[in-house]
Amino acid sequence: MANANQSFYRRVPVSKPYLVTRNQALRLAPSNFTQFMKESTIYGVVVDMPMAPTVITTLACYINGAANLYFSNGADYSGAAQRYPGVVQAARMFVSNAAHYIKDENKINTFELPNSRSHYAYLLTTKGVYRMEINPIPGQQTAEERVFLAMYQRVMAELRAAQMKDKAAGNEPSAMLVPSGR
Contact present, 134 and 119 (Cβ < 8 Å): yes
In total, the chain counts a number of residues equal to 182
At 40-89, the pLDDT tens digits run 689 999 999 998 888 999 999 999 999 999 999 999 999 999 999 999 99
* Residue 117 near residue 137, CB atoms below 8 Å: yes
Q: Report the chain's mean pLDDT, rounded to a whole number.
A: 86
Residues 81-110 pLDDT 10s = 999 999 999 999 999 999 999 999 999 999
b/e sequence 17-35, b meaning 16+ C-beta within 10 Å: ebeebbeebbebebeebee
Whole-model pTM? 0.86
- The band of 169, judged by pLDDT with boundaries at 50, 70 and 90, is confident
Q: pLDDT band for position 181 (50/70/90)?
A: very low
Do 59 and 148 touch, CB atoms closer than 8 A?
A: no
Lowest mean pLDDT among 56-60, 129-133, 146-150, 174-178: 174-178
pLDDT digits (tens, 9 = 90+) for 38-53: 666 899 999 999 988 8
What pLDDT shows up at residue 134? Answer: 93
Percent of the chain with pLDDT over 90: 65
